[in-house]
Amino acid sequence: MSKLKEFTASTARPLPVILMADVSGSMSTNGKIDTLNAAVKDMLETFAREDDSRAEIHVGIVTFGQGGARVHQPLQPAARTQWQPMTASGGTPLGGALQVVTGLLEDRQQVPSRAYRPALVLVSDGQPTDAWEEPLKHLLGSERASKATRFALGIGEDADKGMLQSFLAQADARVFEAHEARQVRQFFRWVTMSVTARSRSSNPNSVAVVEPTALDELDF
């Protein structure tokens, strides 16, 4: 590693992005999981190309479906992530995913104290099949999650919009809805734009990205 790279690695602060992805059986219909895989892969590739002199974007992916919630991609610099496509089956154990994410955020080895405030992204197409209210309360009560930028996407008519709104925990925050593949891609492009705007800022903790009122307003 060159001295410049060593200096960059030692001075850049992590900007954690954690995706909670619903991989229940219903996500296997109508090409939803394929669209989600493609959108996340594009996001990772964009993050990996970002200048990391000030903020180094780290990405972790937690899936919830068959077998419960698990870490699909460990939290690490986007430039070092080797993307593994997700598969869909089983129920929708959101509560388990929220517990996993809370553990990640509270782990000082994975999210050091010098890290910028995280971005949390929740994507689901259905109703939770386990108890999620208390795990969500615990997550939102944690110091780091309470300061996180949060994004929520409901895919299809069966998505639990009330649960997604509770995750955002702000009356004026918008749950976005996707009814076709194009809108899933637009949502992730907006998330990508929001995170990269922070990483390029002189103060990545204070950048506010304007929310569109609908995904179709985004022009990419």
CATH, residue 26: 3.40.50.410
Quickly state the pLDDT bin for 215 (edges 50, 70, 90): low
pLDDT at 207 over 60: yes
Torsion of CA 194, 196, 197, 203, to 10 degrees: 120
14-37 pLDDT, tens digit per residue, is 999 999 999 999 999 999 999 999
Q: Are 152 and 178 in contact (CB under 8 A)?
A: no
CA distance 72 to 156: 23
Number of other CB atoms surrounding residue 82 within 10 Å? 7
pLDDT for residue 99: 97
pLDDT at 199 over 60: yes
Total domain count for the chain?
A: 1
Residue 2 lies in a domain: no
Residue 87, both tokens: 């598969």
Residue 5 lies in a domain: no
The pTM of this model reads 0.91
Amino acid, res. 19: L
Q: Where are the alpha helices (DSSP H) in the chain?
A: 3-11, 32-48, 94-106, 133-141, 143-146, 161-168, 181-200
pLDDT for residue 155: 97
pLDDT at 212 over 80: no
Residue 177, both tokens: 């809805």
Residue 148 lies in a domain: yes
DSSP state string for 122-169 = EEESS--SS--HHHHHHHHHSHHHHTSEEEEEEESTTS-HHHHHHHHT
Residue 72 lies in a domain: yes
Amino acid, res. 207: V
Residue 7 lies in a domain: no
Residue 147 lies in a domain: yes
Residue 191 lies in a domain: yes
**Mean pLDDT, the chain, whole residue set:** 90
178-187 pLDDT, tens digit per residue, is 999 999 999 9
pLDDT for residue 218: 62
Closest CA to 17 of 49, 54, 42, 43: 43
In angstroms, what CA-CA distances link 15 with 31, 58, 118? Answer: 31, 6, 6
Q: Are 163 and 94 in contact (CB under 8 A)?
A: yes
pLDDT for residue 170: 83
- The proportion of the chain whose per-residue pLDDT surpasses 90, expressed as a percent, equals 78
Number of H helices, E strands in the chain: 7, 6
Q: Structural domain of residue 71, as residue ranges?
A: 13-217
- 3-class DSSP state for residue 219? coil
Residue 142 lies in a domain: yes
pLDDT for residue 3: 46
Least confident of 55-59, 98-102, 201-205, 206-210: 206-210
